[in-house]
A and B are shown apart, each in its own frame.
Chain A
Amino acid sequence: MGLFVAQLLTGLANAAALFLVASGLSLIFGVTRIVNFAHGSLYMLGAYFGVTLMHMLPGVFGFWGSILLSGLIVGLIGIVIEICVLRPVYRAPELFQLVATFGVILVIQDLTLMIWGAEDQLGPRAPGLKSVVRILGEPVPQYDLALIAITPVILLGLWWLIAKTRVGILVRAATQDREMVGALGVNQSWLFTGVFFLGSMLAGLGGAIQLPKGGADLLMDLNIIAAVFVVVVIGGMGSIPGAFVAAVLISVLNVFGVSYLPQSTLVLMYVVMAVVLLVRPYGLFGREEKAGEHGQVGEPERPIRPAGMRGRMLVAALLAALALVPLFGGNFTQVLITDILIFCLFAASLQFMLSTGGLVSFGHAAYFGGGAYAAALLVTYAGSPMELAFLFAPLAAGLLAIIFGWFCIRLSGVYFAMLTLAFSQLVWSLVFQWYDVTGGDDGLVNIWPAEWLSGTTAFYYFTLIVGVGGIILLRHLTHAPLGYTLRATRDSARQAEATGINVKRVQWVAFATAGAMAGLAGGLFVFSKGSIFPNELEIGKSFDALIVVFLGGVKTLSGGVVGAAFMESAKDWLTRLEYWRLVLGLVIIGVVIIAPDGIVGTLRKVSERVGLRRSEEFMK
């Protein structure tokens, strides 16, 4: 009994930081609809500022003062980010801002390294709260009790702010209906800035308040972000009490998981998330999203046509140039282009469901990595020839997508995205954990192509044919009735249903198609690298694809491919620099601000404006 109570208290104490960070993210999302990937970075900054301040300000007041100050400083940094990076892109397509926040992550990572150095910083302990209290005979740290006491106070404070003040009324109004706020005559951009300040401050507070239980290190930004998303989703996007309940739920569950299912710690959280989303699609306290809010912000997409003669000639010329690369370019040029082509196919597969179908997946890596692992497992355990294993990759990934898709298409918008994320994390943790079969973190190695493809040039041509073939196939599908049907479901699901279209079935087919094509890219990947590791299933991989689709232009057909080529080249070039993350982050932010319609979308607009290209006739 004593142990049970002690475990419960540990869980409650752990919930504190998680709740603070999650409530900030939830608040920001609720009002601005921005999925702020950089929220973990703000949490990390809070921790670093906290450590520094605590060393400067001694005593009890110094300690608690430092926490408040850290929150304030991070809140101000949030304002800077909002004004400089996000405000210029509010009119861009929905979710486009997440690309900008990704740039912010990179910038903050390098700046933190520059300022505080590489070594982990141990958090100072809270003065006067260094020892334990015996509760039912079990030792419970005093600071844990302090956290358990503080969290509800903050929750109440936030509740008061939102329920009882004018600001809160605006925030609530904005969460439910953004147009309303504009109609009320409120300056929306200052409301956004204010909310960003508050949300960032909460993240900073979270980072500082956890110091006595840990410290500040350079990996904490990405380490917390997945858990924070889980909490926000389980609680319901935009709901503060939801974030609280979910933070407690996840933390307590983790504590009991540690005791009773020690190897389950990776997967537990995502199982809970998937179950909650399936039972309550909008989280515990969330509301149904307003229909049509997703993917339809900004100017509507234009009608599409297959490339004309000029476009085809251009593509043919490009392909001819690529085919000639082995004659002129060196070995490495082929390796690099192979990498780029594989990533382009991966991005194109995501773009098919994301742009054409309006289905935003946060877990597309599951199919890329899934395909790669399927092929690698076949080679490793069945000794299957490469050709067979390669064909198996898209099949297995497609099958996986059919299974997961069946669940995911029941939801829509950001909840759909979150369920895809949960499933991809399930796959990741399975691969990571099932050491005997998958090799866990040590992966599967020596998965090389068959003799006839083993040379760099041979594999280059193979990738060129399969990769470009896949991209062209996806593009053709977009122009075929299937693609049109998919666009119809995205443009107006109601109209589609009312004209005989089974919207869910179409989305399911698109999901499976995109999954299979991602698996094809995964198959190319594993044989080009000779090995596969769980990294290729990580959240980061999914976001890589997401980011290039937006960067290239979500309301275009070639955005994903162009974005992928741009990103891979930029990375290859920039990683040679000392502070490459800073530079890459700034480049991404720059592109986002200069080209809010994505690279392709903006190029199209600019060339129309300067008269290089006529605006299509159907826009007259």
Chain B
Amino acid sequence: MKHLKTLVAAATALLTVAGSAHAADPIKIGEINHYKRLAAFAEPYKKGIELALGEINGAGGVLGRPLEFIFRDDNGKPGDAVKIAEELMTRDGAVMLTGTILSNVGLAISSLAGEKGYIYLAAEPLADAIVWESGNAYTFRLRTSTYVQAAMLAEEAAKTDAIRYATIAPNYAYGTAAVAAFKENLKKLKPEVEFVTEQWPALFKIDAGAEVQAIEAAKPDAIYNVTFGTDLQKFVREGNTRGLFDGRKVYGLLTGEPEYLDPLGDEAPEGWFVTGYPWYGFTEGPSKAFVDAYIAAYPDETPKIGSLVGYMTVQSIAAALEKAGSTDTKALLAAFKDLKVDTPMGEITYRGLDHQSTMGAYVGTTAVKDGKGVMVDWEYKNPVPYMPSDEEIKKMRPAE
């Protein structure tokens, strides 16, 4: 095991030496994603990456060399992703790996990264296990943790006098974790709440009419929604038609993200408290600059949260490379610890504690404006106060 890691390190070092001989050789990053399987999410993400690459390389690249991403499609299969990761690292000369939206693919690559000593920046996976229960020394994560976003919604929910809650979440690991985090945080803040029904539609196979009926039958005061994508569309439509949301406060995890809000058009729910990405509301600063640059680069598009994550992924990697001063794995690994990166969201840090970035989240209330769903009265929240305590995290992370 140890031998192997030294070997890999040596090989990487050799590659680096070979690389530095030609200063203009690009630094390659292996990017694995489900470009086809989840095209709606992966395409804006890729555009964000390409935008950032253009900017960085336009300004002379990193360490005097251009930065290059090798995009590979895993078709959403963890097994294929692991194979591609090996290819990127051992044949294509990538210095590290990044990518993935699906949690299971992220976890698979993370496991490989830990075993083989490859650095992996998990860009978008939602499962917190990737940095906590299944965390390892070589894996970092950019996207805001699910636990934190749920805690933000719970904090807001605790302010109201709603007691009876219903939850609806897709029936897989992410949904389960998102509901558990919301319940935990809400109970902590307001012990008298009760959860009167929990609905678990199969992912992308929701039977919306039945779900709405079941929730209605439980007569909750408020609803916590974790469904997204087509499930959300169907849920919102049936809920609107049948009056489920009348007089009820709804808390929606990710519901405010343009990926999910845009397709709803003028049927977007109003008055939900959600996490999301209100790019249309920025007026100044780096967040606005990113939006402008994105729209300038892609005139037919508006930015999605994926675009932002893609953009920040490149920024993070570039920052790590600059800090490391080389593409050597050891140096990069050291650089990622407590790495500070300036992003459109402000400065974020890759915490040494659990390798999770301090990317925060926008929370706000949904409304319909000009026939489109938007977030209003939003604010940016720093994630740190919502994280589990350091001790709890240390307990969750496996010993290294």
A and B touch in their complex, CB below 8 angstroms: yes
Encode B144-183 as 1/0 by CB contact (under 8 A) with A.
Answer: 0000000000000000000000000001111010000000
CB proximity of A270 to chain B, nearest CB, Å: 12
CB distance from A207 to the nearest CB of B (A): 13
Contact pick for A441, options B172, B199, B233, CB 8 Å? B172
A120 touches B78 (CB 8 A): no
**Extra 8 A-B pairs, beta carbons < 8 Å, given A121-B263, A122-B267, A265-B202:** A118-B42, A335-B87, A440-B176, A529-B112, A531-B107, A531-B112, A535-B77, A535-B104
Question: A454 touching B4 by the CB < 8 A rule?
Answer: yes
* Chain A residue nearest to B125 in the complex (CB): A442
Distance in angstroms from A86 CB to nearest chain B CB is: 25
User: Which of A10, A13, A214 lies in contact with B233, CB distance below 8 A?
Assistant: A214
A441–B78 CB distance below 8 A: no
B155 to chain A: closest CB distance in Å? Answer: 26
Chain B residues closer than 8 Å to A580, beta-carbon distance: 36, 73
Task: Tell me, yes or no, whether B331 is within 8 Å of chain A by CB.
Answer: no
Separation of A110 and B37 alpha carbons in the complex (Å): 10
B40 touches A443 (CB 8 A): no
A439 touches B36 (CB 8 A): no
User: Interface 1/0s, chain B 100-122, versus A by CB < 8 A?
Assistant: 00011001101110110000000
Assembled-state Cα–Cα distance A109/B39 (Å) = 11
Q: Is A3 an interface residue (CB 8 A)?
A: yes
| B8, closest chain A residue (CB) | A331
User: Is there an interface contact between A259 and B214, defined as CB atoms closer than 8 Å?
Assistant: yes
Shortest A468–chain B CB gap in Å is: 20
Closest B residue to A445 by CB, please name it.
Answer: B111
A122 touches B264 (CB 8 A): yes
The distance from the CB of B37 to the nearest CB of chain A, in whole angstroms, is 8
A348 in contact (CB, < 8 A): no
- A14 proximity list for chain B (CB < 8 A): 207, 209-210
The docked-state distance in angstroms from the alpha carbon of A217 to that of B78 is 23
Residue pairs across A and B with CB atoms within 8 Å: the count is 212
Once the chains bind, are A10 and B210 in contact (CB under 8 Å)?
Answer: yes
Taking Cβ atoms with an 8 Å cutoff, the residues of A that contact B are: 3, 6-7, 10-11, 13-14, 109-110, 113, 118-122, 125, 130-132, 138-139, 141, 144, 213-215, 217-220, 223, 227, 254-255, 258-259, 262-263, 265-266, 330-332, 335-336, 339, 432-433, 435, 439-443, 445-448, 451, 454-456, 525, 529-531, 533-536, 571-572, 575-576, 580-581
Q: Is B364 an interface residue (CB 8 A)?
A: no
Q: Could you write out 17 A-B pairs with CB less than 8 Å apart?
A: A10-B207, A10-B213, A14-B209, A120-B229, A132-B241, A141-B242, A217-B229, A218-B39, A219-B37, A262-B200, A331-B91, A445-B108, A446-B115, A530-B108, A531-B107, A575-B72, A575-B74
Q: Quick check: B233 and A122 within 8 Å, CB to CB? A: yes
- By beta carbon, the residue of chain B nearest A118 is B39
Bound-complex Cα distance A208 to B104 (A): 33
B27-52 contact mask (Cβ, 8 Å, vs A): 1 or 0: 00000000011011011000000000
Instruction: Establish whether residues B213 and A259, one from each chain, have CB atoms under 8 Å apart when the complex forms.
Output: yes
Q: How far is the CA of A390 from the CA of B176 in the complex (A)?
A: 31
Cβ < 8 Å to A, chain B residues 68-95: 72-80, 82-84, 86-87, 90-91
- Chain A residues whose CB sits within 8 angstroms of the CB of B263 once the complex forms: 119-122, 215
Assess whether A110 is in contact with B108, with CB atoms less than 8 Å apart: no
**CB-based contact B40/A218 at 8 Å:** yes
Q: Is the CB of A535 within 8 A of B79?
A: yes
Bound together, the chains give a CA A396 to CA B222 distance in angstroms of: 46
In the complex, chain B residues whose CB is within 8 Å of the CB of A448: 111, 115
Instruction: Indicate whether B349 reaches chain A with its CB closer than 8 angstroms.
Output: no
Q: CB-CB < 8 A to A335: which residues of B? A: 83, 86-87, 90
A119, B257: Cα distance in complex, Å: 13
The answer to whether A258 and B214 touch across the interface, beta carbons within 8 angstroms, is: yes
Does B230 count as interface, using CB distance less than 8 angstroms? yes
Give chain A residues whose Cβ lies under 8 Å from the Cβ of B82.
529-531
Interface of chain B, main secondary structure: helix
Report whether A332 and B241 are in contact in the complex, using a CB–CB cutoff of 8 Å: no
Inter-chain contact A265/B171, CB cutoff 8 Å: yes
B301 to chain A, nearest CB (A): 10
Q: Is B61 an interface residue (CB 8 A)?
A: no
Q: In the assembly, what is the distance between CA of A141 and CA of B242, in Å?
A: 7
Name the residue of chain A whose CB is nearest to the CB of B174. A441
In contact, A443 and B207 (Cβ under 8 angstroms): no
Closest residue of chain B to A10, judged by CB? B209
The reply to whether B204 and A219 contact each other, CB–CB distance below 8 Å, is yes
By beta carbon, the residue of chain A nearest B127 is: A442
The prevalent SS among residues of A at the interface is helix
Cβ-defined contact, B197 with A262, below 8 A: yes
Known: A258-B199, A529-B78. A332 touches B90 (CB 8 A): yes
* Complex contact B207–A332 (CB within 8 A): no
B322 vs chain A, min Cβ distance (A):
29
Cα(A462)–Cα(B77), bound, Å: 24
Task: Assign chain B's interface to a size class.
Answer: 35 or more
Question: B residues within 8 A CB of A215?
Answer: 230, 233-234, 263
Given A118-B43, A254-B207, A432-B172, also A455-B200 (CB < 8 A): no
A576 CB contacts on chain B under 8 angstroms: 72
Report whether B176 and A531 are in contact in the complex, using a CB–CB cutoff of 8 Å. no
Contact in complex: B39, A113 (CB < 8 Å):
yes
Bound CA–CA A215/B231 (angstroms): 10
In the complex, A125 Cα to B171 Cα: how many Å? 27
Q: Which residue of B lies closest to A258 (CB)?
A: B210
Task: Say yes or no: B4 contacts A119, CB within 8 Å.
Answer: no
Q: Which residue of A lies closest to B232 (CB)?
A: A120
Given contacts A215-B230, A258-B211, A529-B82, contact A443 B104 (CB under 8 A): yes
Give min CB distance, B231 to chain A, whole Å.
9
B233 neighbours in A (Cβ, 8 Å): 120, 122, 214-215
Task: Return chain B residues, CB-CB under 8 Å to A218.
Answer: 39-40
Asked whether B237 lies within 8 Å of A110 as measured between CB atoms, the reply is no
Residues of A within 8 A of B110 (CB): 445
- Residues from chain B with Cβ under 8 Å of A581 in the complex: 36
Cα separation A432 to B72 with both chains bound (whole Å) = 27
Residue from B90, B171, B204, B241 in contact with A141 in the complex, judged by beta carbons closer than 8 Å: B241
> Shortest beta-carbon distance, A430 to chain B, in Å?
13
The B240-268 residues at the A interface (CB cut-off 8 A) are 241-243, 262-265, 267
Establish whether residues B1 and A213, one from each chain, have CB atoms under 8 Å apart when the complex forms: no
> With A and B bound together, what is the CA distance between A460 and B364 in angstroms?
53
Of A219, A227, A266, A331, which contacts B86 at CB under 8 A?
A331
Nearest-Cβ distance from residue A16 to partner chain B, whole angstroms: 12
- Shortest Cβ gap from A361 to chain B (Å): 21
Closest residue of chain B to A439 (Cβ to Cβ) is B173
Asked, given contacts A110-B36, A576-B72, whether A141 binds B134 with beta carbons under 8 Å apart, the answer is no
Contacts of A443 in B (CB 8 A): 78, 104, 107-108
Q: Which chain B positions have C-beta within 8 A of A119?
A: 40, 262-263
Cα of A335 to Cα of B207 in the assembled complex, Å:
42
Q: Is B270 an interface residue (CB 8 A)?
A: no
Q: How far is the CA of A433 from the CA of B202 in the complex (A)?
A: 10
Pairs of residues from A and B, 9 with the lowest C-beta to C-beta distance, nearest first: A118-B39, A331-B90, A441-B172, A258-B210, A255-B210, A442-B173, A10-B209, A332-B91, A445-B111
Asked whether A442 lies within 8 Å of B103 as measured between CB atoms, the reply is yes
Which residue, B37, B75, B78, B265, has most C-beta atoms of chain A within 10 A? B78
Contact A529 B204 (CB under 8 A): no
Q: Verify A330–B91 contact, CB threshold 8 A.
A: yes
Q: Hey, which chain B residues are within 8 Å of A13, CB to CB?
A: 209
Residues of the B chain whose Cβ atoms lie less than 8 Å from the Cβ of A331: 86, 90-91
A227 CB contacts on chain B under 8 angstroms: 205
Which residues from chain B contact A442 at a C-beta distance below 8 Å?
103-104, 107, 127, 129, 134, 173
Q: How far does the Cβ of A197 sit from chain B's closest Cβ, in whole Å?
A: 29
Is there contact, CB below 8 Å, between B86 and A262? no
Q: Which residue of B lies closest to A256 (CB)?
A: B210
Residue B360 is within 8 A (CB to CB) of chain A in the complex:
no
For A131, the chain B residues whose CB sits under 8 A away are 241
Per the bound structure, the CA–CA distance linking A536 and B1 in Å amounts to: 27
Pairwise interchain contact A120-B214, C-beta atoms closer than 8 A: no
The answer for the CA separation of A336 and B87 in the assembled complex, in Å, is 8
Query: Which of B108, B210, B211 is in CB contact (< 8 Å) with A529?
Result: B108
